[in-house]
Structures are given as C-alpha cells and as structure tokens.
Structure 1
C-alpha cells in the first residue's frame, strides 16, 4: 500500500562501482520515472568520483518525463552565482519545470579547496547572498553590464523550488526568509529527532510570515537480511565518508539509516509519514538497479 506522502529515489552517484557500467545512471533514472516514485534525486561533491551534478541534471531531464528532479544538495559557494543560476534555469527548461534544488553550505573543506572557493564563505549568510543573486537572474534583472539579461528564464515563476539542507535551529530560522522548505537528512531514523526538526521549520517559517514549508527528509537504505544489509550500509559509508577515520564511520554505520527486510522499510516510511513529511528521499547503498523494483513493490 502506497503512503500518502511522496517517496523519492536517489541515484547511486556516490557508489564505488558506479562507473563499472556506462548506463547505470540512465537505467536507474528511467526505472524511477517508470515506478511509483515522486522524484529522482542526486547530490553534489567536488573532491570525489561522482558525476558533476549540473551535467547530470541535463541528462536526467532527458531520461525522465514524469518525476520531479531534486538536486540535494548543491553548494552555491562552490560556483559563481550567475553561471549557477543560468545552469539551473536551463535544467528547469529542459525538464519542463520539474526541478527542485536543495542548497547547503557543505561540510567538507576539501570540496571548497578543489573548487578554488573561499572557505570564509562557508556560512549561511554567504549562501543567502548567492540565492538573492540567483533570484535576480531568474527574475530577468540585469546583473551585469550587458545588452540582454542572463537567460533563459526558468519555467517555474521566480525560479525552481529551493529547499535548505540544514538541521540546526539558527540556520533553519535564517533560511526561513528565503527557502521554500527543508531538505532534511536523518542519520538514524529517530522519529523524535525528525519531528523536532520539522517543528522547528514550521515555527520558523510561521515567524517569518512565510507559507508553510515543504518538509522532506532522506536516509540511507539497504534491503535484505539484517546483517548483510547492515554490512552494505557500512561499505557504502566507508566509501562516501572517506574524510572521516574508518573507526568513526564503522561506529556510525552500526545504526545509520535503514537495513533490513522490505516490510520493515514500509513501516519506517509510515512512521515518518505520521510526522507530517511531504516527501522522503531514499538513498541507496548499492548501484544495483534491482533495488528500485524492490522498493516499488512495497507500494503495490
């Protein structure tokens, strides 16, 4: 039985065997688009072997026709804001208005160094400044001394939906002035913690006089017998969290995300639905596309 909330699926862009087959990402994207999912999602890293997120945006727009495309998370400080606004508006055009963008300051100094970005800009204030510039571009304002403004104009009036990737109360309150909602992340699927973050967002958006925020969260998952599934999560996190000592990653992996049979995953999704989530985005810990069908079967 399908949950009332939306369920999105993340592409396996951070998997070590992603490039073993040239069609892995296309296979995944088309399978997600053909299934019961609400969105196809992917994030950004710089000092890693994942695909460039803005290049991938164009490809996913071509590979899909129905699902929303959610970029979680783009770090604006790794890009010049005007070219970033142009790239995202292009993605919104190519997808016929299906783009949502999650924005965050990023937690890895190495990504800033690889991009030649100033570490002093790794703040919510600097991110908000870049958002303001991008919104000016999307509004058709002249942001440079040029004959014509920077285009194309996005399909969605005012630009793509913008979600903020943050969990702290001060940063949630700061983002409430410009973001459309929350791009959350749950490390251990604690309903109390997810509910706390959702409540913070609702209060902050209300205090800012903004419409109710879109509330999304995400978590890693592995399906199967619990011990094998937990080992799959550990292997994934060892690769993805390569800047953290392995012993610390292993300790985190013992409880991170979901690892177990499909029926238990359905129960976990229902608990999050009861908290008022608008969407949950599942993050795979394997590049095997069969996972898409296994999750799809949960919804009949």
Structure 2
C-alpha cells in the first residue's frame, strides 16, 4: 500500500518472504490510494513463490460479485499449487471505495451472508444459473479454502459465526487485550451458533524496522487513514509504536499470549529491510 513500488521491488519481496521463516504472504484490498490490485498482486506472488501460503486479507466481499471472487480464489489456488488455505472476508468501512466501484454500501451485512453461500456453491461445482453448468476453474478443494471473518464488533462477529471458519482480529499496535477480547467474542459466538470447531485465530498489527521508523510508522498510518479525516488519522497514528526490534518482539509476545495461531505483520514502508530484519528477528525468537 505504498506509492512508487515497481516490478523489481515486488519480485525482491516475494523472494525474501518465500525464503524466510514465514508461513504466508498477504495483501489487503483498498480502492482509493496507491494500493495495487489485490488479486493481480497475489497472482504474481503465487507464481513467484513455492513455499508460503497465499492469503488474501481481506476481500471486501460486498463490493464485488460473489461469483467473480469465487473464480479468482479458485484461480489463485490453481496458480499457487494449492497454497490458498485461508481467505479473509470483510464488510469494509470505506463508503468511498464502494462508491468508486459502483457498489451499494447499504445492506452489505446481509449481502455478504448470501455471497458466502454462493461462493461455496461455485466451489462445489453446482450451477448458479440453471442449465448453464458449473463455473470454473475447478478448485483444488471442493469446499474451497477456510473463510475467516475480518469483523470487529460483537454484532458482526455474531453474524459471521454462522459461516466463518475463524476470525481475523486486528490490533493496530499489537495489543494483547484487544486481540484476546476479539477472540473471546468469537469463541462465545461460535458456541451460540452450535459450531463444533473452535474458530481459527489470525491477528495483525502495523510495524516497521526501517531507519527513522517511528516517523515512518506515524506517516504510514496517518496516510492510510486520512480518508477518515484528520482527527481519526492523527489519533490512530499516535497510537502505534512498533518501530524497533524490542517493540515488535513485544507485539509478537502479545499476539501469542492472546491466542493467535498466526499473525500478519503489516510493514509501514516498502523497504526490503523491513522483511530482512524481521526474518532475522523471528529466527532469533525461535
């Protein structure tokens, strides 16, 4: 989500991530701003890597056609050789992004429930339009990948417990209490929904290991959220502090203590040092 990224930058990132102590590589979806198209970028990552999982985090599903997203996910799984194990889906909070794509912001919660059902019909090879046959490509998993809900509020998590396989919980500064509270809400919602399988726990936070990291982290978060207005952007930018090795390690400990089975670290810069230093840090942490 940085301006000025070129082909060489992307290939270098894919190479270092794939050779490091990492489990997956991800990309988020945002329409306004310099963000690359998520599907195209992850297709490139799928073709250029051999080890890490390819994890869209996340599709703002109600902005799109469910059939198109199902086809894209099946295609990414094909290109990656079956490394699309989990996909996060969310409602999104940027009405401007919906408007840019000509999608309706209102009613997105109920729409996503229906869309998930449609996607699973596509992956099973069932007809969406009677008499027209299945919609391909044929996925490597008849039921598709695990679907994680990128939800925050209790009502959203409660709703997603009906169809999701887990929760993607976000804490911008990697705070244990925030992550643990989200997972506690998910556990309770899954129980009420009669789900036998405990929800998968994915967390995420912002970080940087670049030089002058504190300022770069502040600037990145501010720019990322400036569409919400200067007050919110300033408040969030002032709340993040994971800009040194010790601070990143503390956030990782927080995520582990909160019960994360996996955690996405979202860098504040496109500098390759972000991933190189992180790889060294993780190897030392063990």
Is the structural similarity TM-score above 0.5?
yes
CA contact (8 A) 2:88 2:149 kept: yes
Determine the structure 1 residue equivalent to 2:97: 111
* Superposition CA RMSD, Å: 1.6
Offset at residue 257 of structure 1 (A): 5.4
1:219 alignment partner, SS class? strand
Partners of 1:157 and 1:247 in 2: CA distance: 46
Determine the structure 1 residue equivalent to 2:88: 102
Q: Deviations over 1:134-159 (max 9, x none)?
A: 01100110001444210112112300
Determine the structure 1 residue equivalent to 2:17: 32
Q: Deviations over 1:196-246 (max 9, x none)?
A: 111111121122222111101111102267xx3221111112322231223
Residue among 222, 241, 244 paired with 2:228: 244
Higher relative helix content: 2
TM-score relative to the length of structure 1: 0.89
Offset at residue 48 of structure 1 (A): 2.6
Partners of 1:121 and 1:84 in 2: CA distance: 19
Unaligned segments of structure 2, at least 5 residues: none
Partners of 1:162 and 1:190 in 2: CA distance: 24
Q: Does structure 1 residue 15 correspond to structure 2 residue 17? A: no
Determine the structure 2 residue equivalent to 1:191: 176
Q: Does structure 1 residue 296 correspond to structure 2 residue 279? A: yes
2:112 alignment partner, SS class? helix
CA contact (8 A) 1:97 1:160 kept: no
Alignment of 1:77-156 (within 5 A): 77-99=62-84, 100-123=86-109, 125-156=110-141
**Deviation above 4 Å: which 4+ runs of structure 1?**
none
Question: Structure with the greater relative contact order (CA < 8 A, sep ≥ 6): 1 or 2?
Answer: 1
TM-score relative to the length of structure 2: 0.93
Determine the structure 2 residue equivalent to 1:213: 199
Count of matched residue pairs:
281
Offset at residue 256 of structure 1 (A): 2.1
